[in-house]
Amino acid sequence: MRAVVQRVREATVRVGDEEVARMREGLLALVGVAADDTSDDAAQLARKLVGLRVFPDRDGRMNHALADTGGTLGVVSQFTLLGDARQGRRPSYQNAAPADRAAPLVEAVVEAAREAGVPVVTGRFQASMEVALVNEGPVTILLDTRRLF
């Protein structure tokens, strides 16, 4: 699984005219599922998201995680993170999991984070979404459970 994670002051997710998620301070994770990802990848990503120390302590050093700050985790599915644009100009998405495999794995990330005591908001799977955020820092981290980067 891959994720682009941003430390945010606030974020919203809209589908058409409907606001489906709103959060204050926390982490917003855009999550992509690879065709060969498993529930182990989902658990690993959830642990990493919950424990990622990117929030400042009293000295301004990034030493705190979501659980320390009371922040929210936003999870938005994004299959385009598995796009491969190494050849040509049109990305290939052949490495992305089909929706029927990806949806349960994204939900597994959400549930594992909730079980860890972190409040979670989500986008809507397979919907065309508008994601608005205020990146704080800015802090942006790339994660990959296969450690490709």
Residues involved in catalysis:
78-80
| DSSP bridge partners of 130 | 14
Helix (H) or strand (E) holding 107: helix 99-115
Using DSSP's 3-state secondary structure scheme, residue 50 falls into helix
Query: How far does CA 17 lie from the centroid of its chain?
Result: 23
How many residues are given for the chain?
149
